[in-house]
Copies of this chain bind each other. A is one copy, B any other.
Amino acid sequence: MRMTGQRRAILDALQDGHRPLSPSEVLEAASEAIAGINLSTIYRNLKSLVERGDVIVVPTPGDSSRYELAGLAHHHHFLCEQCGRLFDMHGCPGSFAGIAPKGFKVRSHELTLMGTCSSCTP
Contact = CB atoms under 8 A, between A and B. Distances in A.
Chain A interface residue count: which class? 35 or more
A47 interface: no
A13 to B, nearest CB: 22
Contacts of A106: 78, 113-115
12 contacts: A59-B63, A78-B101, A78-B106, A81-B107, A89-B100, A104-B118, A104-B121, A105-B116, A106-B115, A109-B113, A110-B110, A110-B114
A6 to B, nearest CB: 26
Chain A, interface SS category: loop
B115 A107 contact: yes
User: Which of A60, A62, A103, A105 is packed against the most chain B CB atoms within 10 Å?
Assistant: A105
A117 interface: yes
Contacts of A96: 93, 111, 113
Interface of A: 57, 59-63, 65, 76, 78, 80-81, 87, 89-91, 93-94, 96-97, 99-118, 121
